[in-house]
Amino acid sequence: MIDYPYQITSLEAYHKAYAESIAQPETFWAAVAKHFVWQKPWDKVVEWEFETPKIEWFKGAKLNISENCLDRHLEHHAQDTALIWEPNNPNTAALHISYQALYDKVNLMANVLKNNGVQKGDRVCIYMGMIPELAIACLACARIGAIHTVIFGGFSAQSILDRLEDAQVAYVICADAAFRGAKTIPLKNILDEAMEQYALIKKCIVLNHCHESIQMKNERDVYWHEEEHKAIQAGQSYCAPCPMNAEDPLFILYTSGSTGKPKGVVHTCAGYMVYTTYTFVNVFQYKKGERYFCTADIGWITGHSYLLYGPLAAGATSILFEGQPTWPDAGRLWQIVDKHQVNILYTAPTAIRSLMTYGDAPFEGKNLNSLRVLGTVGEPINVEAWNWYYHKVGQAKCPIVDTWWQTETGGIMIANLAGITPQKPAFATLPLPGIAPILLDEKGNEILDDEINGQLCIKQAWPGMMRTTYGNHQRFKENYFNTYPGYYFTGDGCFKDENGFYRITGRIDDVLNVSGHRIGTAELENILNKNELVIESAVVGYPHDIKGQGIYAYIISAASTSDTTELKANLLQWVQNSIGAFAKPDKIQIVNALPKTRSGKIMRRILRKIAEGEIENIGDTSTLLDPNVVTEIINGKID
Ligand code: WT7
C-alpha cells in the first residue's frame, strides 16, 4: 500500500520524476501540491528569476501550514502519535502526544498568543529547550500567521539581542530554563539580559519547565500555564487557521555567512510546506506508522524542516529528544531507539564520530532491530564514520541517506532515496526532483568532467528555497546571486564521480562548520576584536577528528603580561558570552603580527596552512610585507 501518492518507489520512477520536474516544474509540483489542504487554489505554480531575485510559488493560493500539519489528520488519524517526547532524564516518563492532543494544544496556544496581542505578521522569538511546548509554540504562531524566529538554546544574550533587533521582535516565548545533560541552562535569565537592552518587547510568555527561580517583570512577563488556563476558562479551545498567502513569511531563522552579522533567512508558507513534506516522504521513504527520530534541535533548520513541519505535514510520528547523545552515558541514543522502536534515525556526522570513540560498550543490551533507515546531515561524512554507522548502528541492513542541504534551501537538495536510489559512502549522490545543480569553476564556466572540484550552484528555483534576507533584500542578492549571475550560489565545493554522483567537499567561503554549527570567521573576528585586550585577530578552520572542523584563532594582544593562560581563558569566556559556547576557539595563538600583504590584507591561506599543520607546504610568501612573521607564527604554533 502506498501511503503517499507522490512517493517514489523505484529507481526508474526516480529518473522519470526527475526528468519531468526539470522539464515541466509546473506540472510536476502541481501534482504534488494537490495532496495538501488549500483554502484557495493557486493561480500560478511558479514565477521566478534570479536577478532581482524574485521567487514565487503557488501564487494566489491561501493555506495554513498548521492546518496541514494538524487539522487534516484528524478525520482518519486523530489518535495516531504525532510527537513522542523523550525527556532529558531517562527516568522521567516519555510523553506520547496524539494528533488530536497536539491540535488541541496548538489551538489553545494560538488563542493565548492572540489574547496577548500577537497579530498576523508579528515576529515572535522562541527561546526554549527541546520540549513539546517548543513545537506547540511554533505551530501556534503559524496558525495565527505570526512569524516565528526560534533561537537555539545555546546562544548567548548578545546573540539574542542581535536577533531581536534585526527582526524587530515584539513578543517572546521562552522557558524558565532547559535541561541539557547534567546542566540546567537558565534561559529566562539569559533572555532577561537581552531584553534589558531592548525596549520593544510587549509580552514574554514564560513556560515553567524546570521550576528554576526567575524574575518576572510586571505587565511584560506572563506565565504560559496561567494564560492557557484563562483561555480554557474563556472556552477558547478552537482557533481558525489564519488564511495565509502562499508567499507570506512562515519563519525567520538566523544563520552565519562569510560577512557581517548572522542573516535572517526567510522561508514562506506554501513552497516550504510542499517541499519539506515531499522530501521527507521520499528521502526517508517514510511509511505511515513508522517512528522517526531526528536528533537535531528545533533551533536549527533541520529541526524546523525534518522534526517539525515535514514529518507532521506527512502525518508521521516524530521523536523529540530533550537531552544529549552522551548523557547519562554514550548509549543514550541506542537506548531511545530500542525504547521507542525507532525505524528511522537522522543525525549528524559529528555525533556519529563522537559516539564511535566510545567503542562497543554503549551497545550492550541494545538490539537496534527496529531501525530501517539511517540519515546524516550537516557536514561531509568521512568514509570511516559512514562505515561505522552502516555496520554498527544499521547492522548492514539499513540504507544511509546522506542529505546535503542548507538553512537557505529549506529542505534536502541532494541525497539518495533510502533503498531506492544507490548509496555511496561520503557521497550525497543525486539531486532530488526539482533540483538542478551545476558545478562552476572560478571563472564561471561549467565543469563537465568527473572528479574536478567546482563551486556548487543551482540553476532553477525550487519550492523550499529562501525568499529573502529579512529586512534586506539586497543582501540576499549579494550573498547568493552576485557571484555567478543567474545562479544560486551555495558556498560549497563539490565534484562528481563517473556515475554523476555528487560529493560535497565543504565550504569554500569563510564559513566554518564546527560540529555541524555554522560559524562565520568574519563574525568571530569582529567579536574577538571588540575585546579590549585584542588588537587584531584572524580565525581559520582546521581538520578536527570529531567536530569536522576546529577553530584556530590568531590574536595580537594588548595585554602587557607574558602569561597568556588568563588572557586565553578571558577570550573563551568572551566568545561564549558573545555568541555561545559552541563558537569557542579550540586553539588560540598569541602572535606579534599577522602575515599581511603590502596592501594590508591578511593572508589567510598561510594561516590556514599553519593551523592545518602543513608547514612544509606554505607556498609563496614573497608578496608579504614581512615574511619573517610566518616563521615566528610557525614557531609558536599550538598543537
Ligand atoms: C552547510 C549548511 C542543512 C541542515 C544542516 C546544516 C554543510 C550540510 C551536508 C552533507 C556535506 C553538508 C554544507 C552546507 N552540509 N549537509 N550531507 N554533506 N556537507 O545547515 O547550518 O545551513 O549548513 O552544511 O557545507 O553549505 P546549515
Ligand 1 mean position, distance from CA 407 (Å): 8
Mean local confidence (pLDDT), 431-450? 97
| 507 close to ligand 1 (CB < 6 Angstrom) | yes
Residues contacting residue 377 through CB under 8 Å, at least 6 positions apart: 296, 302, 346, 347, 348, 403, 404, 405, 412, 516
Ligand 1 atom showing the smallest separation from residue 380 Cα = 11
Note whether 319 and 86 are within 8 A (CB): yes
Point out the ligand 1 atom lying closest to the alpha carbon of residue 301. Answer: 4
The finding on whether 466 has its CB within 6 A of some atom of ligand 1 is no
Is residue 326 exposed (0-12), middle (13-18) or buried (19+ Cβ within 10 Å)?
Answer: middle
- What are 54's strand-pairing partners? 49
The CA-to-CA distance between both ends of the chain, in Å, stands at 57
Q: Is any atom of ligand 1 closer than 6 Å to the C-beta of 470?
A: no
Say whether the peptide bond before residue 328 is cis (omega within 30 degrees of 0): yes
Q: How far is the CA of 348 from the centre of ligand 1 (A)?
A: 10
CA of 409 to the centre of ligand 1 (A): 10
Would you say the CB of residue 491 lies under 6 angstroms from ligand 1?
yes
Is the shortest distance between the CB of 255 and ligand 1 below 6 Å?
Answer: yes
Minimal-distance CA residue to ligand 1 atom 10: 404
263-268 β-sheet, strand order: 221-223, 203-207, 171-175, 123-127, 147-150, 249-255, 263-268, 468-469
pLDDT recorded at residue 1? 47
For ligand 1, say whether the CB of 511 is within 6 Å of any of its atoms: no
Ligand 1 closest atom vs CA 516: 6
Average pLDDT over residues 513-521: 93
Distance from Cα 479 to the centre of ligand 1, integer Å = 17
pLDDT for 620: 83
Substitution candidate for ligand 1 out of 405, 505, 507 with most atoms within 8 A of CB: 405
Sign of CA dihedral 340, 341, 344, 348: positive
Main-chain phi, psi angles of 86, to 5 degrees: -105, 115
Looking from the CA of residue 517, the nearest atom of ligand 1 is 21
379 lines ligand 1 (CB under 6 A): yes
- Predicted confidence (pLDDT) per residue in 554-591, tens digit: 999 988 777 899 999 999 999 999 999 999 999 999 99
Residue among 377, 381, 465 to mutate when testing ligand 1 (max atoms within 8 A of CB): 377
Which residues have a Cβ under 8 Å from the Cβ of 255 and sit 6 or more positions away? Answer: 262, 263, 265, 301, 407, 408, 518
- Please tell me the distance between residue 306's alpha carbon and the centre of ligand 1 in angstroms: 14
Round to whole Å and give the CA distance between 283 and 420: 9
Mean pLDDT of the chain: 96
Q: What pLDDT shows up at residue 622?
A: 82
Q: Ligand 1, atom 20: nearest CA belongs to which residue?
A: 406
pLDDT at 261: 87
Task: Express each pLDDT in 446-492 by its tens digit.
Answer: 999 999 999 999 999 999 999 999 999 999 999 999 999 999 999 99
Q: Nearest residue CA, atom 3 of ligand 1? A: 406
Quick one: three-class SS letters along 180-213? ECCEEECHHHHHHHHHHCCCCCCEEEEECCCCCC
Q: Does residue 46 have its Cβ closer than 6 Å to ligand 1?
A: no
357-370 per-position pLDDT tens digit: 999 999 999 999 99
Q: How far is the CA of 382 from the centre of ligand 1 (A)?
A: 14
**The model's pTM:** 0.96
Taking the mean position of all CA atoms in its chain, how far away is CA 274?
18
Query: Is the shortest distance between the CB of 380 and ligand 1 below 6 Å?
Result: yes
283 CA distance to ligand 1 middle (Å): 16
Measured CA distances, 587 to 406, 538, 539, 565, 584 (Å): 27, 12, 10, 12, 9
Mean pLDDT value across residues 122-148: 98
Q: Given pLDDT bands bounded at 50, 70 and 90, which one contains residue 608?
A: very high
Residue 493 Cα to ligand 1 midpoint, Å, equals 11
Three-state DSSP class for 92? Answer: coil
Q: Which helix (H) or strand (E) holds 529?
A: helix 521-530
Task: Give Cα separations from 42 to 31, 32, 49, 125, 464 (angstroms).
Answer: 12, 13, 19, 30, 16
**Residue nearest ligand 1's atom 18 by CA:** 380
- Stretch 223-244: mean pLDDT: 98
- Inform me whether the pLDDT recorded for 29 exceeds 50: yes
Place of cell 494528533: 99
> Is any atom of ligand 1 closer than 6 Å to the C-beta of 402?
yes
Q: According to the model, what pLDDT value does residue 115 have?
A: 98
Encode pLDDT of 40-74 as tens digits: 999 999 999 999 999 999 999 999 999 999 999 99
Residue 2's pLDDT is: 58
Whose C-alpha lies nearest to ligand 1, atom 2?
406
User: Which residue among 254, 406, 424, 510 is best mutated to probe the pocket of ligand 1, counting the most ligand atoms within 8 A of its Cβ?
Assistant: 406
pLDDT-derived band at 394 (thresholds 50, 70, 90) equals very high
408 to each of 116, 147, 191, 251, how far by Cα in Å? 31, 17, 26, 12
Going by C-alpha positions, the residue among 143, 123, 145 that lies closest to residue 200 is 123
Ligand 1 atom with the shortest distance to the CA of 405 = 3
Q: Are 120 and 145 in contact (CB under 8 A)?
A: yes
Cα 305 to averaged position of ligand 1 atoms, centre (Å): 14
Q: Is the Cβ atom of 433 under 6 angstroms away from ligand 1?
A: no
Q: Please indicate whether residue 133 or residue 605 has the higher confidence score (pLDDT).
A: 133
